[in-house]
Chain A
Amino acid sequence: MTHAFRQHSILPGFGLAMGFTVFYLSLIVLIPLGAAFLKTLTMGWTQFWETVSGPRALASYRLSIGASLVAASINSALGLLTAWVLVRYEFPGKRIVDALVDLPFALPTAVAGITLTALFAGNGWVGSWLEPLGIKIAFTWLGVVVALTFIGLPFVVRTVQPVLQELDPEIEEAAATLGASRWQSLKRVVFPELLPAVLTGFALAFARAVGEYGSVIFISGNMPMKTEITPLLIVTKLSQYDYSGATALAVATLAMSFVLLLFINLIQWWSRARYA
Chain B
Amino acid sequence: MISNSRHPGTKAIGKTEPRWVRALLIAATLLFLGIFLLLPLVVVFTEAFKKGLDVYLESIREPDAAAAIRLTLIAAGIAVPLNLIFGVAAAWAIAKFQFPGKSLLITLIDLPFSVSPVISGLVYVLLFGLQGWLGSWLAERDIKIIFAVPGIVLATIFVTFPFVARELIPLMQSQGSEEEEAARTLGAGGWQTFWRVTVPNIKWGLLYGVILCNARAMGEFGAVSVVSGHIRGVTNTIPLHAEILYNEYNSAAAFAMASLLTLLTLVTIALKALIDWKSRIEVREAPQQALTEGLV
Interface residues, chain A, with chain B CB atoms under 8 Å away: 5-7, 9-14, 16-18, 20-22, 24-25, 28-33, 35-36, 39, 78, 81-82, 84-92, 95, 97-112, 114-116, 118-119, 124-126, 149-150, 153, 169, 172-173, 175-177, 180-182, 185, 207, 210-214, 218, 231-232, 234-235, 238, 241, 243, 246-247, 250, 253-254, 257-258, 260-261
Contact = CB atoms under 8 A, between A and B. Distances in A.
Interface in B11-70: 12-17, 22, 25-26, 28-30, 32-33, 35-41, 43-44, 47
Contact of A33 (B111, B193, B242): B111
B150 interface: no
Given A90-B2, A114-B242, A213-B221, A106 B268 contact: yes
A5 B102 CA distance: 12
Interface stretch (B114-122, B136-144, B281-289): B114-122
A231 B118 contact: yes
23 contacts: A5-B100, A7-B98, A13-B190, A17-B89, A31-B127, A90-B4, A97-B30, A99-B270, A100-B38, A105-B212, A106-B265, A109-B222, A112-B40, A114-B246, A119-B39, A150-B36, A181-B14, A214-B239, A231-B116, A235-B225, A243-B131, A253-B116, A257-B116
A89 B26 contact: yes
Contacts of B226: 235, 238
A95 to B, nearest CB: 7
A103 B1 contact: no
Interface residues of B, number: 104
B36 A91 contact: no
Nearest to B8: A90
B166 interface: no
A176 to B, nearest CB: 3
B269 A235 contact: no
B114 A207 contact: yes
Nearest to B247: A218
Given A6-B97, A234-B119, 8 more contacts: A11-B181, A91-B2, A108-B220, A110-B219, A110-B258, A118-B47, A176-B13, A261-B107
Interface of B: 1-6, 8, 12-17, 22, 25-26, 28-30, 32-33, 35-41, 43-44, 47, 82, 85-86, 89-90, 92-93, 96-100, 105, 107-109, 111-112, 114-119, 122-127, 129, 131-133, 154, 157-158, 161, 177, 180-181, 184-185, 190, 193-194, 212, 215-216, 218-222, 225-226, 239-240, 242-243, 246, 251, 254-255, 258, 261-262, 265, 268-270, 272-273
